[in-house]
Amino acid sequence: MSWRCVICFVFMALTLKSLLSHINRAHGRSPDFRVICGIDGCAEEYRVFNSFYYHIKRTHALYLSTGCPPRSGTTETNRELTEQPDRDPSQIGLENFDTPIFSGCTKREPLTTNLVHQPAHGVVVFEEPQGSNSTGDAVPPTGDKQRDSDSVTQNTDMRSVNDIVSGVQQYQASLVDVLKNQMKKVFEKHSGSMEQLQAEAMATFDNFTDPFLRVATTYMQNRTIQELFSQVEPEEIVISHTACRVKSGNSRVLAIKKKCFYYVPLLQSLEQLFTDSRILSMIAIGPQKCKDGFLYDIVDGELFKSHPLFSVRPTALQLILYTDEIEICNPLGSHASKNKLLMVYYTLGNIDPKYRSKLAAIRLLAMAKANYLTQCGVDVILERIQKDLDLLYHGVKIQTVNGEMDMFGALISICGDTLAQQELAGFKEGVGFAYSKCRHCECTFEDMQRDFTENSFVRRTLDMHVRQCLEIEKARTDFLKNSLKTTYGINRKSKLVDFPAFDLIQQTPQDIMHIVLEGIAPMEIKCVLKHLILSGQMDLDMFNDAMLSFPYSPLDIRDRPCPITVNTLASNDNKLKQSSGQMLVLLKILPFLMNNVEGNVYMQLILEVIEITQILFAPVISLQTISRLRLLIEQHLKHFKQLFPDNNIIPKQHYLLHLPTQIMSLGPMVRHMCMRFESKHCFFKQWSSKLNFKNVCKSLVKHNQMFECSQNVNGPQHPIFSSERELGPVLEVKNIQHVQGKMRDFVGDDKMQHVVSVKWLVLNGNKYTCKKSLIVTKVNDNVPEFGLIQDILVVNSSFYCFEYQPYDTLHLNRDFLAYEVDVPNLAQATELVDAEKLVDFTSYYSFSFKSSMYVPVKYYLGDVIALHRSTNDS
């Protein structure tokens, strides 16, 4: 007999164990999980799947051994399929925990026959063949294996889709034949005046409509998706034409080949995004500004407050663009750049920062082959983007989930690495060939080596930039034009100048990933390591051994830095051959690795780099911290020049001088960081290995649009919000009175219907693990108080809280730039805190070093603490 899951009303299984495996994987970790047994009238209710499984194993073992219910009986599950009216389609797939899983089952002797029989109630019963292996279908949950298999989403290619459709069609045909034979037997039992009824009933089977008829082929599947799910069709825009020879029979003939790029219409893409009501509500609510004196997001910056559109319409769409070139093939060899692609993404600054970093919030806008743009430039793409921005700036009607609405919007910033931003803005990509080496000021190489304050340089303005572009265009000779280009550091007048209310000087922010993690940090660390090793103050092998044996946290282990070789230090470049993630981890642990040179002036230089990096990565920055950051950068550059007088100040070090002003204008640096944008490249790189390269841009854009289309119909909520909460293995809480007491003492409410415990919990991208993670629970004299999570509780399926053991924070150790904590007696009473009321939502880890316990931090916590205290005081 087939078993149907009455929780989601979608899954069907041939054996009981298969059904139990589905309930465990799909519903077992839901905070609302609740099942009623129902076998032989059993009324036992369970909140944890483990307990439910072992109850069946102990009490109803007969059903696990046979895999089928009794032949003489049936289940409520299958009677629903035959006797009850159809379930509301909008409820199919949603979880319903109120129906008994196996009500109506009665015991009988085990089945030993292998057949398909038709009981009196008309449900086709599929019995498991004798001797089949039924032990592999369902096993009690053992932890991470089932979690991993359930969390991985399979990408199915079109051939697999066609196979699935063909298989279902065959199953459907055989099902119709079986039903037809059953109807014949039914009518054979009735004689007399039933001929007309029999003819009409049999005709219904002959006129049966194949539901897969519209999706039988790949073309029909694509067409159906476009009709039903509002897929946004990309535009193919011709850049230029070229003459080439193509094969025609046994000869090659001359033909005209088009060079195109693909553009996803911005307004239609926004319409598709606004089919989700929760995203639209974020836009309607408007900007949530931080308290005075603090900057948390773009809306707290001076640019947003003075912008001609956003200052009048605060709910207008804040568009953030990102551009980068990616190599989808082998980056080595003579054909390295043949399939290099220029990618343009966008996201909305209106989306809350905790959701904005989700890959589903980053959407494709344009794609082109890089070699197609070598002659005509990137302005052809910017010109098409400008058309949509002009319409959006002056208001356009967009169809949303709440009906047609008037939408306004403008470009707030363009993100990218230095090369991409220089190219888009019309500056020289290689600043080494320019006299003015900065797009924010008119800085020369000589000035860069001696001046370390921003006020020492002449700031560029948009009016000045336009005037310089006009001088270049009006130059009468090529020699004069090239001289002006070198002097001003400008190649052309960019189309960005024509974007509505866009200032390409202020709104092309520097990226801390490329400036710090891939520029300044590896260069200066390399200089210091080389000096210390050559002077005999440090041994490279001991340094690498300490790096390999360092007790990394579970979050940092995946970005563990690689050992630094002698060849890496001896090279003439400024690289340590570490990724951005590895550099971020290395900066956290570097003071502990170099503790044998503590107090050294070169070690002090490293601590300055780490302190500057922590401030730049902070999610909240106060005005006082911005002023301190200016002084830190000035002192650091002077210090570097004193210790390494033979080393030149590189442009990325100079760019540090402009970061405090950039923060004042556009908010914290992390709101414009490229790290999450670059993660979006993985989607296209993975798909490129499955495609032909005849027109790789068209193929990738097509798959991306189908993928984004599916995101709007994938479950009850958009993927941006799909991973707000992820639960680990669920355990039953035995001491309910203990939890009630903690809730009453620390939350002020002990009313709870049920409570479960989980081993780990993911809230908005932050993972908390029992017995390992530290959380910031309180503030004491401007010092964060940490606590070790002992248990993670889910109360009434909706309230998440941590039971933690408080740690005593001694001070911020300036030698390690980490907090030194004291672990109290393990017998100390634990406390409870609401997961939504933490001081800081980042999960921390501690480790022991030289008989002390330290908690390293990724960013500066001072302003996070100050904002928390200010909010509570008000």
Residue 802 DSSP class: E
348 is written with which tokens? 């909305």
pLDDT surpassing 70 at residue 735: yes
Among residues 655, 661, 672, the alpha carbon closest in space to that of 412 is found at 672
Residue 872 burial (C-beta neighbours within 10 Å; 0-12, 13-18, 19+): exposed
Interatomic CA distance for residues 5 and 21, integer angstroms: 11
Q: Are 628 and 860 in contact (CB under 8 A)?
A: no
Task: Give the model's pLDDT for residue 81.
Answer: 36
In this structure, what is the dihedral angle of CA atoms 190, 192, 197, 202, given to the nearest 10 degrees?
60
Higher-confidence residue of 317 and 23: namely 317
Interatomic CA distance for residues 324 and 326, integer angstroms: 7
Instruction: Determine the average pLDDT of the residues in 532-557.
Output: 91
- The number of helix segments (H) and strand segments (E) in the chain equals 32, 30
pLDDT one-digit tens code per residue, 153-207: 334 456 566 666 666 766 666 777 777 777 777 677 665 666 766 676 776 666 6
Residue 561 DSSP class: P
Interatomic CA distance for residues 597 and 471, integer angstroms: 55
Angle at CA 839, nearest 5°, toward 835 and 840? 85
pTM of the model: 0.80
pLDDT one-digit tens code per residue, 32-61: 778 888 777 788 888 888 888 888 888 888
Residue 518 burial (C-beta neighbours within 10 Å; 0-12, 13-18, 19+): buried
Confidence of residue 311 (pLDDT cuts 50, 70, 90): very high
Task: Give the model's pLDDT for residue 51.
Answer: 84
Task: Give the model's pLDDT for residue 155.
Answer: 42
Residue 180 burial (C-beta neighbours within 10 Å; 0-12, 13-18, 19+): middle
Q: Are 426 and 492 in contact (CB under 8 A)?
A: yes
330 is written with which tokens? 């082998």
Instruction: Determine the average pLDDT of the residues in 639-645.
Output: 93
Among residues 779, 722, 778, 761, the alpha carbon closest in space to that of 843 is found at 761
pLDDT one-digit tens code per residue, 99-149: 666 654 544 443 333 333 333 333 333 333 333 333 334 434 444 434 343
Residue 46's contacts (CB-CB under 8 Å, 6 or more residues apart) are 34, 35, 37, 52, 55
Q: Are 235 and 366 in contact (CB under 8 A)?
A: no
pLDDT surpassing 90 at residue 65: no
pLDDT surpassing 50 at residue 80: no
Q: Are 101 and 38 in contact (CB under 8 A)?
A: yes
pLDDT surpassing 50 at residue 622: yes
Residue 727 burial (C-beta neighbours within 10 Å; 0-12, 13-18, 19+): buried
Q: Are 602 and 532 in contact (CB under 8 A)?
A: yes
Chain centroid to CA 530: 38
Task: Give the model's pLDDT for residue 663.
Answer: 95
Among residues 770, 781, 855, the alpha carbon closest in space to that of 804 is found at 770
Interatomic CA distance for residues 412 and 435, integer angstroms: 29
pLDDT surpassing 50 at residue 208: yes
- What amino acid is encoded at 620 in this protein? V
The three-class DSSP label of residue 716 is coil
Residue 512's contacts (CB-CB under 8 Å, 6 or more residues apart) are 613, 616, 617, 659, 669, 670, 673
Q: Are 507 and 411 in contact (CB under 8 A)?
A: yes
Interatomic CA distance for residues 132 and 736, integer angstroms: 43
- What amino acid is encoded at 421 in this protein? Q
Q: Are 853 and 847 in contact (CB under 8 A)?
A: yes
pLDDT surpassing 70 at residue 264: yes
Task: Give the model's pLDDT for residue 703.
Answer: 87
The percent of the chain in helix, strand and coil, each rounded to the nearest 5, is 45, 20, 40
pLDDT-above-90 percentage for the chain:
45
Q: Where are the alpha helices (DSSP H) in 93-157?
A: 144-151
Beta strand segments in 224-362, E: 235-248, 251-263, 294-295, 317-327, 340-348
Task: Give the model's pLDDT for residue 128.
Answer: 34
pLDDT one-digit tens code per residue, 770-796: 999 999 998 888 899 999 999 999 988
Name the residue with tokens 């149907």: 4
Name the residue with tokens 């960081």: 673
Angle at CA 822, nearest 5°, toward 821 and 825? 150
Higher-confidence residue of 744 and 225: namely 744
Q: Are 329 and 338 in contact (CB under 8 A)?
A: yes
**Averaged confidence pLDDT in the chain:** 82
Angle at CA 542, nearest 5°, toward 538 and 548? 135
Task: Give the model's pLDDT for residue 817.
Answer: 93
pLDDT one-digit tens code per residue, 589-615: 999 999 888 678 999 999 999 999 999
Q: Are 843 and 773 in contact (CB under 8 A)?
A: yes
Interatomic CA distance for residues 549 and 469, integer angstroms: 56
Q: Are 247 and 730 in contact (CB under 8 A)?
A: no
pLDDT one-digit tens code per residue, 480-502: 999 999 999 999 999 999 999 99
387 is written with which tokens? 């058309």
Residue 778 DSSP class: E
Among residues 832, 809, 811, the alpha carbon closest in space to that of 822 is found at 809
Lowest-pLDDT choice from 139-148, 827-836, 841-850: 139-148
How many CB atoms neighbour CB 77 within 10 A? Answer: 26
Compute CA distances 232 → 99, 266, 511, whole Å.
Answer: 41, 10, 31
Instruction: Determine the average pLDDT of the residues in 836-859.
Output: 92
Interatomic CA distance for residues 670 and 668, integer angstroms: 6
